[in-house]
Structure 1
């Protein structure tokens, strides 16, 4: 069984370390040695929440995603990344901060679970589902080309006011990132109906147990997305 667990970063440094180790290994496999969201400063940031995916039987951490709240004290990872090519990102985030905003970042899943949909489907849905509970109204992210369509299906749209119509080279010369935003995290009006249904179910029951099926696997997920 797969288990998804939500916690505040400062409350569980051991799990933060497991997240960082797994994320770094995946990045290295892709030839990426440095991205702003791979820094470990977030371990000690009270405005960061983490969702990790674990194999319940073994305790192995096989994926994760983070929510960095824009608190006016620490810049979001995407601010540091995008500012290298477009400093207008600071003004963009500042414009949404008062209404409550955050960045979904650090998404990864292990090679052993490739094809399960843990990263771009299961963890992303879980991350989006908890945003209203954190008293936030909007959500930013940076995504790679292969996750853009999947992100749009969940309610994101391209934020074209920065970079080259929302795109820029990052984290290395042969990779392109796109800035995206959900402008209504409660209603998710741009999300596909089936994505809305799953995300809304997670909001209704953050301790949901659900069976996921895809071309490679059928497996049960035990969610624990309850804020303590």
Structure 2
């Protein structure tokens, strides 16, 4: 199987953005989640939102991906709205950032079709961190499910224990827990495990490259085209 990974600004490619949304909603519904802020469509009008897309090279179907949403006037991070009623102190916490100084990596999903090739949560996370390093921002934040917290910490994220119940919240519904995390140093990512840091640095230095990944289902050739073309640098 062969896929490509590319980055687009959502306002530049409406067709690809709609494919990403449809795939994400389908995955959420399969888990019984029908109401979640990350499924809201308001971000498609944000010129500072970028999609990371995993696409089939056969027919360019979107097989997974995620969003890097930079915070700016009129466009708060999804996690701000998600936890504002639970912990209003999130508003005070976010006051430390100017426009485009912080982003959220959210909306991660992958189809079952690629999961068996090693393209799971940890892979999506480290690709996102590598790409986020191209932006001049102070922090990258995320809300994670219990199953992905430890994986997320492997790529350098740390729990923000000053928010919620030592960083945890009931979200997206009662009985489900989400943890808020952030990377404090996107340049050096000192708390990442060595193998993940090596992958991130390699992708940063080689934004156009091909790599072969192996998983239970077999081999997958991945063509990376992840240079962010933007005016923020």
TM-score range, shorter chain: over 0.9
SS at match of 1:52: strand
- Shift >3 Å, 4+ stretches: 96-99
Structure 1 counterpart SS, 2:147: helix
**Contact residue 131 and residue 137 of structure 1 kept, 8 A:** no
**Contact 1:63–1:109 (CA under 8 A) maintained in structure 2:** yes
1:124-175 deviations in Å (ceiling 9; x for gaps): 2121112232211211000001111110000001011111100011111221
Alignment map for 1:62-211 (pairs within 5 Å): 62-97=63-98, 100-211=101-212
- Aligned residue in 2 for 1:43: 44
Q: For residue 32 of structure 1, report the CA deviation from its aligned partner.
A: 0.2
- Of stretches 125-134 and 7-16 in structure 1, the one that deviates more from structure 2 is 125-134
Preserved CA contact (<8 Å) 1:96 1:138: no
SS in 2 for 1:184: coil
Distance (whole Å) between structure 2 residues aligned to residue 133 and residue 219 of structure 1: 26
Residue by residue over 1:78-134, the C-alpha shift from the partner in whole angstroms, topping out at 9 and shown as x without a partner, is: 000011200111121222446811000000011222333424122221211122322
1:32-82, Cα deviation, whole Å (9 max, x unpaired): 001111111111110101111011112111101000101133111000001
Distance 1:213 1:141 in 2: 27
Moved more, 142-151 or 111-120: 111-120
Change (3 A) 1:157 1:175: same
Counterparts of 2:23 and 2:146, CA distance in 1: 22
Contact kept in structure 2, 1:137 and 1:183, CA below 8 Å:
yes
SS in structure 2 of the partner of residue 146 of structure 1: coil
Secondary structure at 2:73 match in 1: coil
Distance in 2 (CA, whole Å) between partners of 1:112 and 1:129 is 24
Cα gap change, 1:95 to 1:217, in 2 (>3 Å): farther
State the superposition RMSD in angstroms. Answer: 1.4
**Structure 1 unaligned spans of 5+:** none
1:225 to 2:218 alignment: no
Contact 1:107/1:119 (<8 A) preserved? no
User: Which structure has more helix as a fraction of its residues?
Assistant: 1
User: Could you list the per-position Cα deviations for residues 9-46 of structure 1 after superposition, in whole angstroms to 9, with x for gaps in the alignment?
Assistant: 10011111001000000000000001111111111110
